[in-house]
Structure 1
Amino acid sequence: MLKTLSIILSIVGVVLAGFVLITKNFEFMPYLMLILGISILITGLVELQKDRKGFSGYMCIIASLFVFFVSIKVFLLS
């Protein structure tokens, strides 16, 4: 379940990033950051579910929280 959601979010993120790069319309960057944050959070959760309680799972969750913070800040400033 999480693997398919991660793949779908990654595809949507790549398409949205390609659209932003081609059109140079940076209006969708907060949405791209939100999708990136969710994707990183899912990656961290998958790592923790695999009983690899190492550094990478927790680092992914911390990075996703930072991306969520930046995304919300950009949403509020726009």
Structure 2
Amino acid sequence: MLKILRIIFSLIAGILAIYSLITNNNETMPIICGFLGLAFIVMGLTEWKKDKKAITILLFATAGFGFYVVVSSFFY
């Protein structure tokens, strides 16, 4: 289940990134960061199940930064 979610979130982010590159539309960047943050959370959960704490902390921190970018883009 988590593997499917990770693939879906990554594909959505990739498709939006390609769309953004083709159309020169930078307004989709916060959405891309949001989907990448969701993908990193799912990856962190899978690594947490494997008891790999160091990579789990790194993945959750990266997801947190992605969500910070999303939130800050709404207020800026």
- Calculate the TM-score normalised by the size of structure 2: 0.92
Match for residue 11 of structure 2? 11
The answer for unaligned runs of 5 or more in structure 1 is none
Match for residue 41 of structure 1? 41
Match for residue 64 of structure 1? 63
Number of residues paired by the alignment? Answer: 76
Match for residue 29 of structure 2? 29
Q: Which deviations, in whole Å up to 9, do the C-alpha atoms of 1:28-49 show, x marking residues without a partner? A: 1111111011111111111011
CA distance in 2, matches of 1:13, 1:37: 10
Q: Which runs of at least 4 in structure 1 moved beyond 3 Å after TM superposition?
A: none
CA distance in 2, matches of 1:71, 1:11: 18
SS, match of residue 30 in structure 1: helix
SS, match of residue 56 in structure 1: helix
Amino acid at match of 1:67: G
SS, match of residue 52 in structure 2: coil
CA distance in 1, matches of 2:55, 2:46: 11
Q: Which deviations, in whole Å up to 9, do the C-alpha atoms of 1:22-65 show, x marking residues without a partner? A: 11011111111110111111111110111222x11110001111
CA distance in 2, matches of 1:8, 1:67: 17
